[in-house]
């Protein structure tokens, strides 16, 4: 049996489904989770969504978000759900560690059958059924493709369609990255035909800034930007004190690193953020710069060729200093 129909068979057979995704939720992890949540509800399945941590404010508007059980603030409920599941969906991540230290133990110890639907490189072997396509724009595109393959598109209600649109939109930078294909646009066209109010989704995600959020981004760009023009690299580093000054909330810097990549001549953009004793690093690139290698080699991370992340447990200054050293070796032609 092909994987699409095998996954349908597993869903039909399951009594208790749980949908999981990676730490630091984004539009694609929330979108793919809720698309299936609404669909499985329609199929009268018992289904819960368990995520490692809460969603950022700019994703709170989506229907079903309030039902997500996050491991960080509702650990007992999340554990019970995971332990009593007989089928677990692993969406938008390629290895168990991506759910974070707290949740990974529960996830790996459960006896539930696991299904992976994901578009990250190098999928680890921990799921019994797998749809992994690293050329896909987003996990939401793969969710749409799966539902099409099993001939259940007519079961998608407006909530599911909106969730799928959200994930494709956010993971493609609003349909502009090389990962966007004719199929991506065909899927989007079909979702609009099924009732998605695309303009409202763009507005809800991109036009709901707080003043602090706008000011933090302005501060980062005007005061903290460093351009290594010879290397075609630009970065900004924000300390915890600076983030606090603008009452930083999760999601406030979303997309900021992409803005840095928008500088003429820049092929790699990096954002460093000091948080709770660690430094979280976001990498974006284009052309022949593949940031996932840099993230993996030096910053305990990974991701896609042009969009990766990592973490450092050294100070912000030391982390940036190391990055500047590593990046010189990383770009050998300069």
Site string for Mn ion, 120-159 (x = CB under 5 A): ------------------xx--------------------
Q: Which window, 86-94, 145-153, 257-265, 306-314, contacts Mn ion (CB under 5 A)? A: 86-94
Q: Decide: 281 and 311 in contact? Cβ < 8 Å.
A: yes
Question: Cβ-closest residue to ligand 5GP?
Answer: 309
Residue 94: closest CA among 113, 115, 112, 118? 118
Cβ contacts of residue 195 below 8 Å, gap of 6+? Answer: 158, 161
Contact 94, 132 (CB under 8 A): yes
Closest CA to 41 of 23, 63, 62: 63
Write each residue from 50 to 69 as x if it is in contact with ligand 5GP (CB under 6 A), else as -, in one continuous string. --------------------
> Residues in contact with Mn ion, total (CB under 5 A)?
5
Nearer to ligand 5GP, 54 or 302 (CB): 302
* Strand partners of residue 311: 280
Q: Among 33-41, 43-51, 167-175, 265-273, which window interacts with Mn ion (CB under 5 A)?
A: 167-175
Work out which of 34, 49, 116, 307 binds ligand 5GP, going by CB under 6 A: 307
Task: Examine residue 304 and tell whether it contacts ligand 5GP (CB under 6 A).
Answer: yes
Q: 117 has which bridge partners?
A: 91, 131
Residue 171 or 242 with smaller CB distance to Mn ion: 171
# residues near ligand 5GP by CB under 6 A: 12
**CB closer to ligand 5GP, 6 vs 133:** 133
Region class of 176: left (phi > 0), else alpha (psi between -120 and 50), else beta: alpha
Structure-token pair, residue 301: 């991370």
């Amino acid at each position: 049996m092909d994987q699409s129909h095998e996954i349908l068979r597993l869903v039909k057979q399951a009594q208790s489904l749980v949908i999981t995704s990676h730490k630091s939720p984004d539009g694609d992890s929330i979108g793919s989770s809720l698309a299936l949540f609404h669909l499985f509800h329609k199929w009268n399945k018992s289904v819960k969504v368990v995520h490692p941590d809460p969603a950022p404010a700019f994703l709170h508007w989506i229907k079903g978000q309030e039902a997500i059980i996050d491991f960080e603030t509702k650990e007992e409920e999340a554990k019970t759900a995971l332990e009593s599941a007989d089928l677990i969906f692993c969406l938008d991540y390629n290895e168990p560690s991506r759910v974070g230290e707290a949740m990974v133990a529960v996830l790996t110890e459960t006896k539930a059958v696991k299904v992976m639907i994901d578009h990250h490189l190098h999928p680890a072997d921990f799921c019994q059924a797998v749809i992994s396509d690293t050329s896909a724009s987003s996990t939401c595109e793969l969710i749409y493709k799966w539902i099409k393959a099993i001939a259940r598109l007519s079961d998608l209600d407006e909530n599911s369609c909106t969730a799928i649109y959200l994930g494709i939109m956010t993971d493609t930078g609003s349909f502009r990255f090389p990962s966007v294909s004719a199929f991506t646009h065909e899927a989007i066209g079909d979702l609009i035909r099924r009732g998605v109010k695309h303009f409202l989704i763009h507005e809800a995600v991109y036009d709901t800034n707080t003043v602090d959020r706008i000011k933090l981004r302005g501060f980062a760009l005007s005061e903290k930007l460093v351009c290594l023009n010879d290397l075609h690299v630009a970065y900004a580093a924000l300390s915890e004190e600076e983030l606090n000054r603008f009452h930083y909330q999760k999601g406030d810097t979303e997309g900021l690193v992409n803005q840095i990549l928008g500088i003429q001549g820049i092929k790699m953009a990096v954002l460093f953020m000091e948080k709770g004793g660690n430094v979280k690093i976001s990498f974006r690139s284009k052309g022949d710069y593949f940031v996932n290698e840099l993230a993996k080699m030096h910053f305990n991370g990974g991701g896609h060729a042009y969009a990766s992340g990592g973490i450092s447990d050294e100070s912000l200054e030391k982390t940036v200093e190391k990055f500047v050293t590593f990046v010189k070796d990383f770009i050998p032609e300069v």
